[in-house]
Amino acid sequence: MVRINLLPVRALKKKETAQQQITIFFLSLVGVIVCCGAVYSVTLAKLSTTKEEIRKSEIEMKTLKAKIGEINNIKKLQAEVKKKLDVLNQLRKEKTGPASRLARLSDAVPEKLWLTKYSEKDVSVSLSGIAYNEELIAEFMRNLMATNDFSNVELQVSEQIEVAGVKAKKFDLVCMLKIN
């Protein structure tokens, strides 16, 4: 049996070419979609990794801020302790200073001379007292100058008074403390 092909060969080739082009188009479209999906998934992975790093950094920042706060508190406490130690050292220094100064002042006072007033203001010292005569006052002034605690001893006033029927000299002295 003989067969006769009534369809032209060109139309058949056109149909096959069209099918091939449609197949290539769909395969290309699928390839592009797969590539876009791959790029999208890689981008999502990078984004999630970056978000995780940001979250870890924020947590680390919070812990570091807490440590900084603790360090600042420690520095404040350290400053307070230093201040208290300075006050204690100052108190210790002043504890021995005036006591020893007053002991030397007591040693400088001759017999028959009595101190009635002693006051300090910064480095200025004011002394008042009663003595039997001017020689005792002069001796007291020399004794004060001989100590290492007083300088610039000056007699301000010396006047005669009567104490229990005996004539005496009332005096006022001003001097400066020597700062060691």
How does DSSP assign the chain, residue by residue? Answer: ------S-HHHHHHHHHHHHHHHHHHHHHHHHHHHHHHHHHHHHHHHHHHHHHHHHHHHHHHHHHHHHHHHHHHHHHHHHHHHHHHHHHHHHHHHHHHHHHHHHHHHHPPTTEEEEEEEEETTEEEEEEEESSHHHHHHHHHHHHHSSSEEEEEEEEEEEEEETTEEEEEEEEEEEEPP-
Domain count, the chain: 2
Cβ atoms 121, 138 nearer than 8 A: no
Q: Are residues 104 and 121 in the same domain?
A: no
**Picking from 23-32, 35-44, 151-160, which range would have the lowest pLDDT averaged per residue?**
151-160
Vertex 23: Cα angle to 20 and 24 (nearest 5): 85
Compute the average pLDDT of residues 135-153. 87
Q: Are residues 43 and 79 in the same domain?
A: yes
> Does residue 74 carry a pLDDT above 80?
yes
**Threshold 0.75, pTM exceeds:** no
Q: Are residues 169 and 150 in the same domain?
A: yes
- On whether residue 3 sits in a domain, the answer given is no
Write out the residue range of the structural domain in which residue 77 sits.
9-108
Both structure tokens of 177: 């403390």
CATH number of the domain to which 143 belongs: 3.30.30
Q: Tell me which of 54, 79, 108 is where a domain ends.
A: 108
Q: Are residues 84 and 24 in the same domain?
A: yes
Q: Are residues 135 and 161 in the same domain?
A: yes
Pick the residue with more confidence: 47 or 12?
47
- On whether residue 1 sits in a domain, the answer given is no
- On whether residue 2 sits in a domain, the answer given is no
Q: Are residues 115 and 99 in the same domain?
A: no
Cα–Cα distance for residue pair 144/104, rounded to 1 Å: 9
Q: Are residues 104 and 117 in the same domain?
A: no
